[in-house]
Structure 1
Amino acid sequence: MTDPAPAALHLLVVDDEEQILELLDLTLSLQGFRVTTAPSGPAALERLSGATFDVLVLDVLMTPWDGFETVERMARHLGSALPPVVFLSGLAHPTPPPTLNPRLLDHYLLKPFRPSQLVEAIRRAHAAGPLGRTTEF
């Protein structure tokens, strides 16, 4: 049995594949997380206006903005309040834009993964804390 999510962390989960997004929502909710979903980068940016999140979980390959561009836009919007980020991707060697803070790739989970690996990545990212307060984007 897994430990409950600490203090019901609030996650923003972003993926443009509806079935994957629903699966992530169900999986993480069953693990005790509070989950808000967004089907795209622009929708995720809108969600940031109305809520505070503890960790962001984003797919890398999305349209119209990929996960990297989405996080860059979030960082411009939130500045030092940008929550920790977990990237999900089938790409073993991502090519982030040169303007992306390299520390954002500290929590990069390669697909396919087990639910326990995702939960652990979220907990590690949350424990590491926000990046924006010590580095630039």
Structure 2
Amino acid sequence: MTSPDAVRLLVVDDEAQILELLDLTLSIQGYEVCPAGSGPVALEVLAREQIDVIVMDVLMTPWDGFETVRRMAAQYGAALPPVVFLSGLARPAVMPDLGPDVVQEYLVKPFRPSQLVERIEEARRRKLSS
């Protein structure tokens, strides 16, 4: 059972084992996790759940993480929760322009759970101060 004030995460990854590992890891850290196995499913979850932070894999199908967030931003604008992108690739030299309202962090795999928690909390702080 989660506490009523638990931070709710939408965690998106198209690899089932990675999604399960992220779900377990973040749940142990005290977060309430809403998993999604693709961009289209993530849009559905975001429409029905109150989400505080989105944790998004970059390399996915049918939409990559950037395209998924573009679609979310087009629908939610400034109300879009902050996003932490996860990728096995080095951080791009220039992040895609996802709009002025999208608060984003980037974390390269592999990472320690504490690093992911730091990025989630930094994204929350930045969103609250924007």
TM-score by length of 2: 0.87
1-structure distance, mates of 2:93, 2:70 = 14
SS at match of 1:56: strand
Amino acid at match of 2:42: A
Contact 2:57 2:85 in 1 (8 A): yes
CA contact under 8 A between 2:73 and 2:102: conserved in structure 1?
Answer: no
- How far apart, CA to CA, are the structure 1 residues paired with 2:50 and 2:18? 23
1:127 aligns with 2:116: no
Deviation at 1:94, TM superposition (A): 2.9
Query: What is the identity percentage for the equivalent residue pairs of Structure 1 and Structure 2?
Result: 63
State the Cα deviation string for residues 20-60 of structure 1 (Å, max 9, x = none): 00000000001000000000000000111111100000000
Distance 1:49 1:106 in 2: 20
Structure 1 residue 100 displacement after superposition: 2.4
3, 7, 28: which one pairs with 2:26? 28
Give the TM-score normalised by the residue count of structure 1. 0.83
CA apart distance, 1:8: 1.3
Match of 1:112, SS state, is coil
- Equivalent residue, structure 2, for 1:37: 35
- Aligned match of 2:112: 114
- Unaligned 5+ segments in structure 2 are none
TM-align CA RMSD: 2.4
Matched, 1:10 2:23: no
In structure 2, the residue matched to 1:46 is: 44
Task: State the one-letter code of the partner of 1:120.
Answer: E
Aligned-residue offset at 1:93: 3.7
Alignment partner, residue 87 of structure 1: 85
**In the alignment, is the contact (CA less than 8 A) between 1:12 and 1:44 conserved in 2?**
yes
Partner amino acid for 2:49? A
The 3 A distance-change label for structure 1 pair 99 and 105 is same
Contact 1:68 1:97 (C-alpha < 8 Å) held by counterparts: no
Deviations 1:83-123 (A, max 9, x none): 00000001104377854248858510011000010011101
